[in-house]
Structure 1
């Protein structure tokens, strides 16, 4: 699911985690550097300086990574290593406290979900948008998916959006005030059709108008309940206007013998 109004806290948490991770890495690097210099300077052997520093670096890496494959230390180096081990434990503990659990919150999950959906929406083509996912929208989406169409649900209601997402549909969620953004994110420029299935005629008219502006060639199927509403929707850009009452009436009459001519 892609949320237009993404919780900002998720992004802020990730930025803070990255800042703390950089700080933890910097502290570990300082421990590594300090340990290398300390062990090297306390090496009283007659080995060349490059050999001393390489051995010191090797020991420092083993200290930081806790591998423990150390060379032989003299007494001064052993004392220094005790201090270095204590510093490593302190830095590692600080890093664990600062980083653990920061990326497990719901707001962070929403952030990553939005990022994943952004990549899907960028490459989305020849899909069918259904708006909203009410009783009619649910049936339309299911029948479209049965035909093999890629269905994208557009919703303003959180529960309906979660229901559609739970059924495996791609979903864009936004409130009424940001629904123009929802239509823009729906990649209507590359869509094959839009089904407007809501019960509010004014909302349907507005969605039809905006969708037609975004893609004048888009096939828009919408319901209308009067001749005036049909005319308004067609002028707004609807390619097909369905009168639900007329369909229901035809279906009801079709179940009886009333429309059949009487035999003489």
Structure 2
């Protein structure tokens, strides 16, 4: 699901985690550097300086990574290593406290979910958009998916959007005030059709007008309850206007035999 009003806290948490990660890495690097210099300077052997520093670096890396494959230490180096081990434990504990838990919130999950959806939307084409995911929209979406179409659900209701997401549809969620942004994100420029299935005639008219503006060649199927509304929707860019009341009436009448009974 892509959320138009993405929680800003998610992005802030990611930035804070990165800052703390850089700090933790920097501290570990300082421990590594300090351990290398300390072990090398306390090496009283007659080995060349380059050999001493390489051995010191080897021991420092083993210290930081906890591999434990150390060389032989003299008494001074052992004392220094005790201090270095304590410093490493303190830095590692600090890093764990700073980095764990900060990425476990819902806002961070929404942040990453939006990043994944952004990539999917960028490559989306010849899909069919359904708006909203109400009773009619659910039936339309299901039949379109059964026919092999790629369905993108657009909605302003969180519960309906979450239901569509659980059913496996791609979803864009936005509130009523930002629905123009929802339609822009829906890649209507590459879509094959838009089904407007809501019950609010004014909302249906607005969605049709914006969608037609974004893509004048888009097929737009929308419901309208009377001749005036049909005319307005067609002028707004609707390709097909469905009169739901007329369909229901025809279906109801078709269930009975309307012919008068013959008198005997």
Please classify the TM superposition score into its range, dividing by the shorter chain length.
Answer: over 0.9
Does the residue aligned with 1:222 lie in a helix, a strand or coil? strand
- With normalisation by structure 1, the TM-score equals 0.98
Match of 1:73 in 2: 73
Equivalent residues in 2 for 1:135-214, closer than 5 Å: 135-214=135-214
Q: Find the residue that maps to 1:113 and give its secondary structure.
A: helix
Look up the SS of the partner of 2:222 in the other structure: strand
Q: How does 1:86-165 map to 2 (within 5 A)?
A: 86-165=86-165
Q: Secondary structure at the match of 2:160?
A: helix
Tell me how far 1:262 sits from its aligned partner.
Answer: 7.1
TM-superposed deviation, 1:173: 0.2
**Who is 1:49 aligned against?**
49
What is residue 231 of structure 1 aligned with on the other side? Answer: 231
Alpha-carbon distance, 1:32 to partner: 0.2
Change (3 A) 1:100 1:215: same
Q: CA deviation at 1:263?
A: 7.2
After TM superposition, the score normalised by the length of structure 2 is 0.98
Q: CA–CA distance in 2 between the matches of 1:89 and 1:249?
A: 77
Distance 2:260 2:69 in 1: 99
Q: Which residue of 1 aligns with 2:11?
A: 11
Cα offsets for 1:48-93 (capped at 9, x unmatched): 1110000000000000000000000011111111111010000000
In 1, Cα distance between equivalents of 2:144 and 2:97 = 50
Q: Shift of residue 189 of structure 1?
A: 0.2
Within 2, Cα distance between the matches of 1:101 and 1:241?
52
Count of matched residue pairs: 263
Superposed CA offset, 1:138-181 (max 9, x none): 00000000000000000000000011111111000000000000
Counterparts of 2:113 and 2:262, CA distance in 1: 65
2-side partners of 1:148 and 1:262: how far apart? 46
Cα drift, residue 253 of structure 1: 1.0
- Report how far residue 205 of structure 1 moved: 0.2
1:41 offset after TM fit, Å? 0.7
Q: Which runs of 4+ in 1 moved over 6 A?
A: 261-264
Matched residues in 2 for 1:40 and 1:164: separation?
A: 63
- In 2: Cα distance, 1:255 partner to 1:94 partner: 74
Aligned to 1:256: 256
CA distance in 2, matches of 1:87, 1:261: 99
**Gapped regions of structure 1 (runs ≥ 5):** none
SS at match of 1:220: strand
Measure the CA separation in 2 of the matches of 1:174 and 1:159: 12
The root-mean-square deviation of aligned C-alpha atoms, in Å, is 1.1
The DSSP-based 3-state class of the residue aligned with 1:188 is: coil
Task: Give the whole-Å Cα distance in 2 for the aligned partners of 1:150 and 1:85.
Answer: 57
Query: For the residues of structure 1 that align with 2:38 and 2:163, how far apart are their CA atoms?
Result: 61
